Structure 1
Amino acid sequence: MKKKFDYAKAGVNIDIADEAKQKIKSMVKATYTPGVLSEIGKFGGFFSLEHLKYKNPVFISSVDGVGTKLKVASMMNKFDTVGIDLINHCADDILVHGARPLFFLDYIAMAKTTPKVVGEIVKGLVTACKAEKCALIGGETAQMPDVYKGNDFDFVGLVVGVVEKKDIIDGGNIKAGDKIIGLKSTGLHTNGYTLARKLFFDKAGLKANTYVKKLKTTVGKALLAPHKSYTKPVFKLIEKVDVKGLAHITGGGFTDNIPRILPEGVSVVIEKKSWKPLPVFTLMAELGNLDDAEMYRTFNMGIGMCIFVAEKDLKKAMKVLKANKESPIVIGEVVKSRNGAKKVEIV
């Protein structure tokens, strides 16, 4: 008699996947806002626009992942913060254009679906979604044993937000003389982890649970510090001050992200002495003998969001941000470009 073969023996267990879905249903429902018309299990997520009080709404979307920070989460067997990373990264990306998040969809791919791990991941998503008033209306969990091995997995999300057309922030009015305010980060956020892992674990030979005096914590905890959301303080600022531009300092650091919102004819000078980089960055620079050019193009160096305001609005902007529990720092200014190039000079 021939031996029976099935999907589970091939490496994909539908029953376990269903168990994971049931585990997260009630959690996800806690994120629902008035626009949600569907529950988990439909072929698509439904979101009504009827409750939105906009005259000319523009939807702004962004998709991103957590990158190899997931490797650190696996090493620590701690998965309840990567969802926070994903939501906050995506929310900050659309915040740059003045958009408030409406709804979110996620994608988790792993070798084998583990309901406990999926539950922890979604717990983080739910925590951040509730804080952002953003509904988690759908997602996909894929078992791919031929693609992912062991504890490896990938985690990606899509956010859709809305902004009044006249209120879109695109940097078009930035001009020479404008000031740049930096808002502090919590750590690496979600970028630079491939280099960070090489430095800490391969080059220095440290373990995730190794306590490092300079970090005042373990390597793993320092690297897993959740990506910070800037939505609340920045929207408070937008209500009171003309915010001319915003730059989320993610992959590409200062040198690649700031030019994305600069108009023709201007460049930026960033004064690195205006703030003290977090210990995790200075330690990595030492471990890898990395120069400033590499550090400021790879990492956020302790500044996660840059805000552009006119010099006349600087004092008020600083006051508003401080009133909203931020510690803003004036980190640079806008200058006229040489040859029209949009450049970021770190001095």
Structure 2
Amino acid sequence: MDAYKKAGVDINAGYKLVDEIKKLSHNDALGAFGGMFPLALGQYKKPVLVSGTDGVGTKLLVAIQAGLHETIGIDLVAMCVNDVLAQGAKPLFFLDYLGIGHLDQTQAKEILTGVVNGVSQAGAKLVGGETAEMPDMYQHGHYDLAGFTVGIADQDKLLKTTDLQAGDVLLGLASNGLHSNGFSLVRDILFKQHHYSLDDRLPGCKLDLKHELLRPTRIYVKSVLPLIDQGLIQSIAHITGGGLIENVGRILPADLNAEFDSTSWKMPAIMKKLQTIGQLSFEDMTNTFNLGLGMVLAVRPADKSQVMAELKKAGETVYQVGKLVTGSKKVVIREDAL
């Protein structure tokens, strides 16, 4: 072990980290060769497992530069579980991968505390993961994160594009800022083109840049899943890379368009400033950022009031943002309304 440590890998530090995560997650089974999850299938007539995997992208570089790692694990979980939710499935368990140049106990614990927090928000269970110390792969202080989740749904209750019809109402759930997308552009505008500091606070923004940019992605599972179970949701778009245009387009059948009235919700101040500072076009904004909507739900007009009331009761900020109309699989957002 001494020879391995001299080569840059501290196995004992890894063992200690596993013990810490066992305590944080209340799962003594962590550290086994495989994660286990008891699967109760009695309530499902035709059970289907739905899986998802994702990372956090270059938002990690902001966390590393700021030295703030407590929420980036929430982002990781959110990117995975919100995708599974968008299929109509309940996230069951989660695994993480942390690749790191040098295993700093404090830093790693902060990162994985966020993962545990996110898993708890999703009502799921952390069943395992991997921490790989690779000094020749990552420079000191740098790391990468990836996550994997599995959910379950009844086959007949999976959300399908074929269930959508003209007249369906689009409801938008407010995002918590940028979430985890567009950060290569964000960093280019703020730090390469204009040389802002992470301690700067942009006019109109409540927080300095390091805290504004690191707002964790919202996890919508506990708010939205009960509505799916009640059959009140027809389809869901999780607004990630590609913004509203690409992600809402993914749920549309060939004969429908989605029309958005962008005066019906508030775009976060950080996005407005990025548009101004970076001189971004309307197309840049709609194809890159969530514009303040982390998730878009399609519901029947008759169910709109009940769905909005239950979402607000669950703590969500929800807007009626548009509707589905006869068309050709296009997402239309009026430019003059932003």
Q: Is the 8 A contact 1:270 1:332 kept in 2?
A: yes
1:14 aligns with 2:4: no
Q: Is the 8 A contact 1:236 1:320 kept in 2?
A: no
Shift of 1:211: 2.6
* Equivalent residue number for residue 35 of structure 2: 45
Shift of 1:235: 2.1
Task: Determine which of 170, 181, 188 is the counterpart of 1:198.
Answer: 188
Q: Is the 8 A contact 1:173 1:263 kept in 2?
A: no
TM-score (norm 1): 0.91
Alignment of 1:317-328 (within 5 A): 317-328=307-318
SS of the residue 1:86 aligns to: helix
1:189 aligns with 2:179: yes
* Equivalent residue number for residue 283 of structure 1: 273
Alpha-carbon distance in 2 for matches of 1:99, 1:183: 18
Q: Percent identity?
A: 37
Aligned-partner residue type, residue 313 of structure 2: A
TM-score (norm 2): 0.93
Task: Determine which of 55, 60, 63 is the counterpart of 2:45.
Answer: 55
Alpha-carbon distance in 2 for matches of 1:317, 1:238: 10
Alpha-carbon distance in 1 for matches of 2:133, 2:67: 19
Alpha-carbon distance in 1 for matches of 2:42, 2:58: 37
Shift of 1:332: 1.2
* Equivalent residue number for residue 70 of structure 1: 60
* Equivalent residue number for residue 95 of structure 2: 105
Q: 1:127/1:111 Cα in 2 relative to 1: closer, same or farther (>3 Å)? A: same
Alignment of 1:1-347 (within 5 A): 6-28=3-25, 30=26, 32=27, 39-50=29-40, 53-240=43-230, 242-337=232-327, 341-347=328-334
Q: 1:242/1:50 Cα in 2 relative to 1: closer, same or farther (>3 Å)? A: closer
Shift of 1:239: 4.4
Shift of 1:286: 0.6
Alpha-carbon distance in 1 for matches of 2:310, 2:23: 38
Shift of 1:13: 2.2
Shift of 1:224: 0.5
Shift of 1:24: 2.0
Which ranges in structure 1 are unaligned for 5 or more consecutive residues?
Answer: 33-37
Alpha-carbon distance in 2 for matches of 1:344, 1:255: 6
Shift of 1:118: 1.1
Aligned residues: 333
Q: 1:13-57: per-residue Cα shift (whole Å, max 9, x none)?
A: 2222222222222112x2x5xxxxx71221111222147632321
Aligned-partner residue type, residue 81 of structure 2: A
Which ranges in structure 2 are unaligned for 5 or more consecutive residues?
Answer: none
SS of the residue 1:146 aligns to: coil
Q: 1:239/1:138 Cα in 2 relative to 1: closer, same or farther (>3 Å)? A: closer
- Alignment RMSD, CA only? 1.7
Aligned-partner residue type, residue 185 of structure 1: S
SS of the residue 1:6 aligns to: helix
